């Protein structure tokens, strides 16, 4: 890590960009703690994210997400943020303050190939490609504010190596 001390690494990007897998690989290789914010939310809520959306609401999900974000941003850890976490300005301010951010930049075609047909993603399940692509385009300007962007249209092991290099610099 840098001379600034253990800085958190926050991976951002749209669903299906590879945040969870890349985050786990980087954390393993660096000997760091890994947090997946979506899994933390499921643990606290005692149910799958799709169930939170179905039985409560997206607003309830976002409230839990914002509550757990400071814990996920543990110094020196690697965190895979949810695809919409950084849309909230307060969340984004906290993320930028505490972490080096890396945008896993995948084309919508790559994302669609990875997530189409999956029912575990409540914002994607049963949605037409055009609606999902509109959500992607809506969020993309915030993603592009990250400290670094890495091409995630390739093998995620190679993506993890590049992210680790950036974080270690």
The span from the CA of 115 to the CA of 94, in Å, is: 28
On the question of pLDDT at 159 being above 90, the answer is: yes
Could you state, in order of their start, the residue ranges of all structural domains in the chain? 8-164
Q: What pLDDT, on a 0 to 100 scale, did the predictor assign at position 3?
A: 35
End-to-end CA distance of the chain: 7
**Which pTM does this prediction carry?**
0.90
> Which fold does the domain 8-164 belong to in CATH?
Rossmann fold (3.40.50)
Q: What pLDDT, on a 0 to 100 scale, did the predictor assign at position 117?
A: 61
The span from the CA of 84 to the CA of 41, in Å, is: 13
Q: What pLDDT, on a 0 to 100 scale, did the predictor assign at position 5?
A: 47
The span from the CA of 12 to the CA of 143, in Å, is: 7
On the question of pLDDT at 70 being above 80, the answer is: yes
Mean pLDDT computed over 90-119: 90
Select the more confidently predicted residue: 14 or 54: 14
């Amino acid at each position: 890590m840098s001379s600034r001390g253990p800085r958190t690494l926050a991976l951002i990007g749209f669903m299906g960009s590879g945040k969870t897998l890349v985050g786990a690989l980087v954390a393993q290789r660096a000997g760091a703690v890994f947090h997946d914010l979506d899994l933390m939310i499921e643990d606290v809520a005692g149910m799958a994210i799709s169930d939170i959306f179905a039985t409560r609401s997206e607003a309830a999900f976002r409230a839990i997400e914002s509550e757990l974000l400071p814990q996920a941003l543990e110094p020196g850890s690697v965190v895979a943020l949810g695809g919409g976490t950084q849309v909230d300005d307060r969340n984004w301010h906290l993320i930028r303050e505490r972490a080096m951010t890396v945008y896993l930049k995948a084309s919508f075609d790559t994302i669609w190939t990875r997530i189409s047909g999956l029912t575990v993603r409540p914002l994607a399940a049963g949605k037409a490609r055009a609606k999902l692509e509109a959500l992607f385009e809506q969020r993309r300007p915030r993603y592009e504010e990250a400290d670094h962007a890495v091409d995630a249209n390739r093998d995620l092991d190679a993506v993890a190596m590049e992210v680790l290099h950036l974080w270690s610099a």
